[in-house]
A = this chain, B = another copy of it.
Amino acid sequence: MSLEALKNLENRFESICSREVAALDRVNAALMAGAYEYFLGNGFVWVETPMLTRVTGSCENVDTLYSVQHFGTQAYLPQTGQLYLEAKIPLHDKVWTVMTSSRAEPCTDHRHLNQFSLVEFERRGDFSVLLPTIEGVVKSMVSSAVKKCGDELNSFNSSAKECLKGGFARMTYEKAVGKLGLEWGDDFKHEHELALVNEAGRPLFITHYPQEIKFFNMRLNREDDRVVNSADLIMPFSGESAGSAEREDDYDVLVKRLKQSRMFSILSQRGVSINEFNDYLNLVRNHRLLHCGAGIGFNRVSQSVLGLESIRQATNYPVTAQSLY
């Protein structure tokens, strides 16, 4: 397979002209079609989210925001459309979008791109519907690839079988850190994720992370407020491929957690006021509707299904600190 050439960032226009890349393109197209079919078949309303935003386009990583001058206003390339999707929950039970997430990380490696397609949804309901929805989307993507590109997948070291053979595995963060000999509050490294997912033999949800290391609006667990009702999806080869959570619906808790968040402390140092979040905070105050959502990294799912060593192989035009096309 000449897909090795795709690990390199140079001569990209030549590399992406090989026959093997044609197969890769068709698999990617089938994966995206599978996402589309899932949302269309399950009553999700597609909505556009803005691709130039205020700080409310950031997720927890405000230190990796790309800045853009927009007629005298400081604008940013969004990392997520989450808050903009959530704003539609008073009108629709379920919404979704595909957006480009931008992260100005100077050290992009074979797991990270500066930009990637993020498949996002928000829906009414609690944690009990969240994980089945993510699993439904991912399985629809993989099934679509198997159905439309069975021959192509035979030439890859695909994880499709593991993805489709049964329900995804689940493990709490607490159990995972115990297993790996880590400390409470540690985040997982890529090798940790792969160890866990390989042992599970299928995609694995790690649930209930410590609130300190997660986004401010992930909902506190009412029985154990050390943790939030969140789940990350770990997939073979690519590791963390989706992040998700119930959204905090208690206005007072939400404001308190925003003010305590590392994100807000960085923003405050830059002179950004909490008023920037007023639209979102007012929404939660005026329309208290328990809901949850997820962001699924399209290129991570693609890397996993194609069994590729590098995420750079899963995309034609990888934007990294060393490449721009």
Contacts and interface: CB of A to CB of B under 8 A. Distances in A.
Interface string A76-112: 0100000010011011100000101010101000000
Interface string A308-325: 000000011101010011
Nearest to A57: B325
B46 A324 contact: no
In the complex this chain forms, how many copies of it are found?
2
Contacts of A52: 66, 77, 102, 114-115, 319, 324
A77 B68 contact: yes
Contacts of A77: 52, 68, 77
By CB atoms of chain B within 10 A, which of A26, A51, A68, A282 has the most? Answer: A51
Interface stretch (A16-24, A167-175, A229-237, A252-260): A16-24
A28 interface: yes
A194 B49 CA distance: 29
B325 A84 contact: yes
A47 B25 contact: yes
Contacts of A21: 91
Interface stretch (A29-37, A121-129, A181-189): A29-37
Nearest to A36: B36
29 contacts: A13-B87, A13-B279, A13-B282, A16-B87, A17-B90, A22-B91, A26-B45, A28-B46, A28-B47, A33-B40, A48-B317, A50-B115, A50-B325, A52-B77, A52-B102, A66-B68, A66-B69, A67-B69, A70-B104, A70-B114, A70-B319, A70-B321, A73-B324, A75-B324, A77-B77, A84-B325, A87-B316, A100-B100, A279-B325
